[in-house]
Amino acid sequence: MRLSFLDYAPSGNHQTGTVSAMTKNEKQYKVAQAMLEKWQKNLEIHKKIKQPGIPAWSVKEQAADIGEQVRQLQAEIKEYEETIAAGLRDKPKPD
């Protein structure tokens, strides 16, 4: 059986290519951390797997998209951690 890095794509809102603007509670924070771990693993797998028959530009774009997901999640997690560290325990209410 041939595997692609897409076989390891995290479940959730990755299909829309977006993440929420801000983590608003501990549950969302934990979900964001889990998604980050999955996307990081996905990026590692993507770098290791050869994808014959797929144009090099497409493989490069896939890596860029995965990297963007990782950066967005890292920023979201950092923002939440800074909010908590600053003592702003009155977190924003969900929309």
Residue 90 pLDDT grade (very low, low, confident, very high; cuts 50, 70, 90): low
pLDDT, greater one: 11 or 72:
72
Using CA atoms, how far apart are residues 45 and 40, in angstroms rounded to an integer? 9
pLDDT the model gives residue 16:
40
Residue 15 pLDDT grade (very low, low, confident, very high; cuts 50, 70, 90): very low
Using CA atoms, how far apart are residues 1 and 72, in angstroms rounded to an integer? 32
Using CA atoms, how far apart are residues 19 and 32, in angstroms rounded to an integer? 9
Token pair, residue 7, equals 């076989």
For residue 61, report the phi and psi dihedrals to the nearest 5 degrees: -65, -40
pLDDT in tens, 29-80: 999 999 999 999 999 999 888 889 999 999 999 999 999 999 999 999 999 9
Q: What is the pTM of this model?
A: 0.67
Domain ranges of the chain: 23-85
Q: What is the DSSP letter of 2?
A: -
Average pLDDT over residues 10-18: 46
